[in-house]
Amino acid sequence: MKPVIHLTPIFLVVLALTCLLIGPAPKAIGVLPVETVNVIYGFAGDEDGEYADTDLETDSAGNIYGTTVLGGDFGGGTVFRLSPTVDGWMHTVLYSFTGGADGGEPYKGVTLDREGNLYGSAVTGGSGSCEGGCGVVYKLTNSGGTWTQSVIHAFTGGDDGSGPGARVTVDRSGNVYGMTPTGGTYGLGTIYKIHQAGGAWDFRVIHAFTGGADGSSGSAGRMILRKGHLYGAATTGGNYGSGVVFELTPSGAGGWHFRTIYSFQGQPDGSFPYGALLFDRGGNIYGTTYYGGENGIGAVYELSPRPIGEWEERVLYSFQGGTDGNSPISNLVFDEAGNLYGTTSEGGLGSGTIFKLSPVTGSQWTETVVHPFQGPPDGAFPYNGMVVDQFGNFYGATVHGGDNDDGSIYKLTP
């Protein structure tokens, strides 16, 4: 029997709403046979790790980094690395969480800094008044191939937030930014910055969500740092209660100005954004929503900047609930031809899909299914999007599937 997964309030909301959701009649969507998808690693559970709810990170040597929520030496999850070899891929557990002061249940992966160190967050462990701990932000320092874990902030569950389930952002100066879905002044989540000064780490909340026009429950997607501004999404709240996309601008003296640049309106617009944002070269933003769209089961959207500082939104694709999949909670990625790729957490053959949106004339997009996940030994339930390496290959993770149904890492070759 599978172990119980600790879920943050955001994930509990999703599960509750999913039980109430009744989708439209399935409609067949074409499947492209051009791309190939292969599982390159299947987690074995226990010490190896399991339940890979993780974004992936790659380095210049072709290594892939990520996290598993469970497993490891103490059952509290792992940070892992996959290294390419002549015979395939070598899996190495870089750190096993104890679930104690060092944290536990690390969702959504790790982020590399310029020195090759890794940063991430864990939902439980640490200290604070939360049952099982309020979570931590951690650093894995690489010293000649030896990795040492240190906690750079343990959440208290008070004004600083709790249950950090989002991947962190690291700037060129080594500052760390992230979000929590709960806690904070209003109990609805925070945006934070952690700065190292004189060997110590200084934690500061730069925005506390109120649940009003600014939204609530920061999404699980990593915030994007662009031209000194931070961009991200909050899953709920906003003018229509369906989530927002926001911008944070430095305002001097260490302060930040928060601005909502779009409030989702719900069906037929998007609703409940979970994944990270994606910018194109023209400054347009792309993302997915778990609900909304014409059929209420998810959408892909575009936000375009306007000269006066406003943003215009349009839905590029509404999922139909058939073989095209439904309920995306992932980020999107571009290929060299300008096509968008993403994943749906459900639908297809029942275990989620990889989809592709291709631009056509008249600013329209056409959707095709690249791969419907089939379950073991194939992957199953991709709760995250993909990352592109320097050669144009895409890599992603699934929380189940693989030979042992404990999660997998797959490679998509366009």
Query: One digit per residue, pLDDT tens: the chain, 414 residues?
Result: 334 344 443 443 333 333 333 333 333 344 444 679 999 999 999 999 999 999 999 999 999 999 999 999 999 999 999 999 999 999 999 999 999 999 999 999 999 999 999 999 999 999 888 999 999 999 999 998 899 999 999 999 999 999 999 999 999 999 999 999 999 999 999 999 999 988 899 999 999 999 999 999 999 999 999 999 999 999 999 999 999 999 999 998 889 999 999 999 999 999 999 999 999 999 999 999 999 999 999 999 999 998 877 799 999 999 998 899 999 999 999 999 999 999 999 999 999 999 999 999 767 899 999 999 999 999 999 999 999 998 899 999 999 999 999 999 999 998
**How many distinct structural domains can be found in the chain?**
1
Containing structural domain, residue 380: 9-413
How confident is the model at residue 26, as a pLDDT?
35
How confident is the model at residue 89, as a pLDDT?
96
How confident is the model at residue 11, as a pLDDT?
44
How confident is the model at residue 21, as a pLDDT?
34
Nearest to 239 by CA among 219, 260, 222: 260
How far is C-alpha 314 from the geometric centre of its chain's CA atoms?
Answer: 22
How confident is the model at residue 371, as a pLDDT?
96
Q: Are strands 285-289 and 169-170 parallel, antiparallel or unpaired?
A: unpaired
Contact 376, 396 (CB under 8 A): no
Which residue has tokens 């200290």? 127
Pairwise CA distance, residues 143 & 44, whole Å: 28
Pairwise CA distance, residues 295 & 25, whole Å: 10
Query: Does 228 fall in a domain?
Result: yes
Pairwise CA distance, residues 154 & 78, whole Å: 18
Provide the β-strand partners of residue 170. 176
Q: Give residue 169's identity as a one-letter amino acid code.
A: T
Query: Does 2 fall in a domain?
Result: no
Contact 404, 77 (CB under 8 A): no
Contact 292, 269 (CB under 8 A): yes
Q: Give residue 143's identity as a one-letter amino acid code.
A: S
Tell me the per-residue pLDDT of 103-150, one tens digit each, with 9 for 90 and over: 999 999 999 999 999 999 999 999 888 999 999 999 999 998 899 999
Domain of 154, CATH number, reads: 2.130.10.10
Query: Does 204 fall in a domain?
Result: yes
- CB neighbour class for 172 (10 Å; exposed up to 12, middle 13-18, buried from 19): exposed
Query: Does 263 fall in a domain?
Result: yes
Quote helix, strand, coil % in the chain, to nearest 5: 5, 45, 50
Which residues, in sequence order, are CB contacts of 307 under 8 Å at separation 6+?
Answer: none
Query: Does 377 fall in a domain?
Result: yes
Contact 152, 201 (CB under 8 A): yes
How far is C-alpha 368 from the geometric centre of its chain's CA atoms?
Answer: 22
Pairwise CA distance, residues 99 & 110, whole Å: 17
Pairwise CA distance, residues 57 & 116, whole Å: 11
Q: Give residue 134's identity as a one-letter amino acid code.
A: C
Which residue has tokens 């959701």? 21
Which residues, in sequence order, are CB contacts of 401 under 8 Å at separation 6+?
Answer: 39, 42, 351, 373, 375, 376, 377, 378, 379, 380, 381, 407, 408
Spatial strand order of the sheet with 364-372 comes to 333-334, 340-344, 353-360, 364-372
Q: Are strands 216-218 and 200-208 parallel, antiparallel or unpaired?
A: unpaired
**Length of the chain in residues, anyone?**
414
How confident is the model at residue 5, as a pLDDT?
41
Query: To the nearest whole percent, how much of the chain has pLDDT over 90?
Result: 84
How confident is the model at residue 34, as a pLDDT?
63
